[in-house]
């Protein structure tokens, strides 16, 4: 099964929309879990753009960058969720506007 021929512009447009959504979410949400989710959305949209670029040239490089984004996301989520647990334990809240001191 071959790939699909669609205008690259459209894919990039979708990726842009997803990215903007993620960014809006990041600015809007106060809960750390949701902020992390917004970050995931943004990373994912970047991955989409890379894969689209890879598909444009029929080269594996786009997918490889996707793999790296995947590993970054995995590492980021692992540490981020660890932080979520710690913050919940220390501040008894996940509201990032309240958890604004450096020393907990």
Partner 1 sequence: MMESLFYGASAVALLATVAALTRANAAHALIYLIVSLLAVAVLFFLMGAPFAAALEIVVYAGAIMVLFVFVIMMLNLGEAGNSREREWLAPRKWIVPGILAGILLLELVLAVRHAPDNTSGVEVPPKMVGLTLFGPYVLAVEIASLLLLTGLVGAYHIGRRFIVRRDFSRPGDNS
Partner 2 sequence: MAVLWLIPFLPFLSATLMLLSAGRMPRYLSAWLGVGSIGLAAVCVALVARAYLADHQVQELTLWTWMSVDNFTPRIAFRVDGLTVVMMSVITGVGFLIHLYSVEFMWEDESICRYFAYMNLFVAAMLLLVMADNLLLLYLGWEGVGACSYLLVGFWYRDPDNGRAARKAFIVTRVGDTAMALGLFLLFTELGTLDIQPLMAAANDRWQIGDTLPILATALLLGGALGKSAQLPLHTWLPDAMAGPTPVSALIHAATMVTAGVYLIARLYELFLLAPPTLAVIAWIGLLTLLLAAFTALAQKDIKRILAYSTISQIGYMFLALGVGAFASSIFHLVTHAFFKALLFLAAGAVIHCLHHEHNIFRMGGLRTRLPVVFLSFLIGSAALAALPFSSGFFSKEGILLSAWTQPGIGPWLWAGGLLGALLTSIYSFRLVFIVFFGEAQTEPDRQPGWQMAIPLMVLCVLSLVGGWFVLPLSGVLPDPGHDPVSHWVEYISIGTPLLGLTVAYLLYLGRQVSIASLMASPAGAAVQSFWYGGARIDKLYDLLLVRPFTGLTHWWRNEPVDLLYNALVWMTRWGHGRLVVLQTGELRWYATSMVFGLLLLLAIVLRDSA
Residues 21-80 that bind partner 1 (CB under 8 A): 21-31, 33-34, 36-38, 40-41, 44, 47-48, 51-52, 54-64, 66-68, 70-79
Site string for partner 2, 42-81 (x = CB under 8 A): ----------------------------------------
From the CB of 87, what's the least distance to partner 1, in Å?
A: 10
Residue 95 backbone dihedrals phi, psi, to 5 degrees: -70, 115
Residue 29 backbone dihedrals phi, psi, to 5 degrees: -75, 145
Q: How far apart are the first and last CA of the chain?
A: 55
Cα torsion through 93, 94, 98, 101, rounded to 10: 100
Residues that bind partner 2 (CB under 8 A): 23, 26-27, 29-30, 32, 35, 96-97, 99-102
């Amino acid at each position: 099964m071959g790939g699909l021929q669609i205008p690259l512009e459209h894919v990039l447009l979708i990726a842009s929309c997803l990215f903007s959504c993620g960014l809006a979410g990041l600015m809007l949400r106060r809960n750390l879990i949701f902020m992390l989710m917004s970050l995931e959305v943004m990373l994912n949209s970047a991955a989409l753009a890379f894969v689209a670029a890879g598909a444009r040239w029929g080269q594996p490089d786009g997918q490889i960058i996707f793999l790296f984004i995947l590993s970054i996301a995995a590492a980021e989520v692992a540490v981020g969720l660890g932080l979520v647990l710690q913050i919940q334990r220390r501040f008894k809240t996940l509201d990032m506007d309240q958890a604004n001191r450096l020393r907990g």
